[in-house]
Amino acid sequence: MLYNISFDICAGVITLFAFYTMVFRRDLERFSNRLFLLVVVMHFISVVFDVWSSVANSYIPEHSIAERDFTNYVFLGVHTSESAAFFLFLLVWLGTFPTMKKWQHALLWMPEVLMILLPLALNPTFRCVFGYDEAGLYVHGPLMILLYVSADLYMVLCISFVVWKHDRMTKQQRKASLWLLLLSLIPMLVQSILIPHQLIEMFFQALGLCGYMLAVENVDESRNPVTKAWNRHALIRDFTYCLVNRTEIAAVIVKISQIDALRIASESSSIFHGLRLQLAEWFEQAARPKSMKFYDCERGAYVILTSGKNTEDECDELCRSIEVRFEAPWRCEGREFRLSVQVSEIRFAESPASVQDLLYMIAQPFVHQTEGISHANRRELLSSFRPGNTEAEHLPHELQESLDRFLAGISDLTPAERNICDLYISGYEISEIPGKAFISMNTVKKHNKNIYRKLCVNSREELMLYVDLFFRCGREDELTRRSRFEQQ
């Protein structure tokens, strides 16, 4: 049994890379990320105990039956449970687990209990999973197949779930998840049916690679934490680089109506999240063939940047594609949504003011109640919006009530939470808050949870949508007055 240890050693090294990535590059405040870290830890435990059991079962005189049993039980129990743990991670990550009923939770764990834990619990008495022959050599029992059938079953459920919930994942996330699951399921099927005792190490390697590749939420400041697209920081970096190199630059700025965004967010946070992923993925796919770069600048603002020659033709073609796509509805979770969108094609000259102009044009919120596509030129984007704008005065009644609830929620904030909220209202990013408030990032995240709960929002993105509408409606003084009044 020693000739398979080299595979386990390689799998262990890859899993340590995955462990490093999860601990130092991911946001472990998120429960879904901690679950995935648990899967990686289970993975490493399986590797270690597979090596240990291989050595113990190969050098029988030097190892007691108790030691051999211990290594075999830990390896089989942890290893075959990894797929169940990964399925739980998917359910939590994609927001399905909290909505499940009690009988669904019981059904979820039934294969794990009946086909893995129960056979292993009966094995000391009946030796139905594994045992030893007259020479003391390790042999499989008749119920060993149940452990691998259960693991395969959870893998099939994982694949089906990823396909079913594909609209909540980016293309990169779907690819990474499906490759993980296929590279895990196939070797397990081969081992359990054709070649006993071998090829299970490929599962370890696949999971280790997934830990390194899977696009779960991270804290990389150059990426949007939800859509994984390049964010505003990356846009400034790339845009400045083009200016310094005196490269011709053009940008297509697309803004989704904030009224549409708030209406969808108030109906369902999962649909709002799914549509954001769909929008980001579509823009990225539209930009890639033209060698353009896509940025998700939050609050419904998207920028596609191109540089060099033929920028005008590329932008014109992209704008036509955007118009065609937004004439059709967007579908998410069985529902259709038609979005109002503003499209602007801007060319930039080599000027120090260009960066400021770009940021100002992105920052101006788009509030429009009629469906369809509108166009805005550079002058219109740079002109300051006027409080009391007629479009903003006639918000739908339910959105007016949402603004009033948001304003009332500010009264419930503690002084520390109000301080954080005021910094958001002033336009500071999450990464800038610790330095401004003189607190740690973990403290900021704890305050964020309370702020989101009291203001009835699910993210900073949604919070800033409300703030933008207050400014658009000329009600920004109500935010600052309420904050000052509560502090007195």
User: Using CA atoms, how far apart are residues 325 and 330, in angstroms rounded to an integer?
Assistant: 9
Domain spans in the chain, listed from the N-terminal domain onward: 2-213, 232-384, 397-487
Helix or strand (DSSP H, E) at 304 = strand 301-307
- Domain 2-213: CATH superfamily is Rhodopsin 7-helix transmembrane proteins (1.20.1070.10)
pLDDT score of 487: 47
User: Using CA atoms, how far apart are residues 321 and 336, in angstroms rounded to an integer?
Assistant: 20
**pLDDT (tens digit, 0 to 9) for every residue of the chain, 488 residues total?**
554 677 777 778 778 877 887 787 666 767 878 888 898 899 889 888 888 988 898 889 999 999 999 999 999 999 889 889 989 988 987 778 877 889 999 999 999 999 999 999 999 999 999 999 998 999 989 999 899 889 889 988 988 888 887 766 666 667 777 777 777 777 767 666 666 555 455 555 556 556 545 545 444 456 777 777 888 877 887 887 777 667 788 899 999 988 888 778 777 777 888 888 899 989 988 988 878 889 998 878 999 998 877 778 888 889 999 999 999 999 888 888 888 899 999 888 766 567 778 888 887 778 765 678 888 888 888 775 444 444 444 556 666 777 788 888 888 888 888 888 888 888 787 877 888 888 888 888 889 889 988 888 877 777 887 887 777 666 767 776 555 444 44
User: Using CA atoms, how far apart are residues 251 and 307, in angstroms rounded to an integer?
Assistant: 9
Written as one letter, the residue type at 240 is: T
The pair of structure tokens assigned to 442 is 């973990």
User: Using CA atoms, how far apart are residues 437 and 420, in angstroms rounded to an integer?
Assistant: 7
pTM of the model: 0.54
Task: Output phi, psi for 294, to 5 deg.
Answer: -105, 140
Helix (H, G, I), strand (E, B) or coil at 300: coil
Task: Output phi, psi for 223, to 5 deg.
Answer: -125, 145
CA proximity to 282, closest of 317, 308, 318: 318
Dihedral sign for Cα atoms in the order 219, 221, 227, 229: negative
pLDDT score of 486: 46
pLDDT score of 217: 46
Q: Kindly report the CATH class assigned to 397-487.
A: alpha beta
CATH code given to domain 232-384: 3.30.70.270
Give the DSSP letter of residue 428.
-
Written as one letter, the residue type at 119 is: P
223 forms beta bridges with 230
- The reply to whether 2-213 and 232-384 are identical in fold is no
The pair of structure tokens assigned to 205 is 């390697």
User: Using CA atoms, how far apart are residues 367 and 369, in angstroms rounded to an integer?
Assistant: 7
Whose structure tokens read 């020693």? 2
The upper half-sphere exposure of residue 100, i.e. CA atoms within 13 Å in the direction of its Cβ, equals 15
User: Using CA atoms, how far apart are residues 265 and 275, in angstroms rounded to an integer?
Assistant: 10
Q: CA dist 80 to 154, 169, 332, 401, 457, Å?
A: 10, 26, 34, 51, 39
pLDDT score of 199: 46
Task: Output phi, psi for 26, to 5 deg.
Answer: -120, 160
Strand pairing category for 341-348 and 249-256: antiparallel
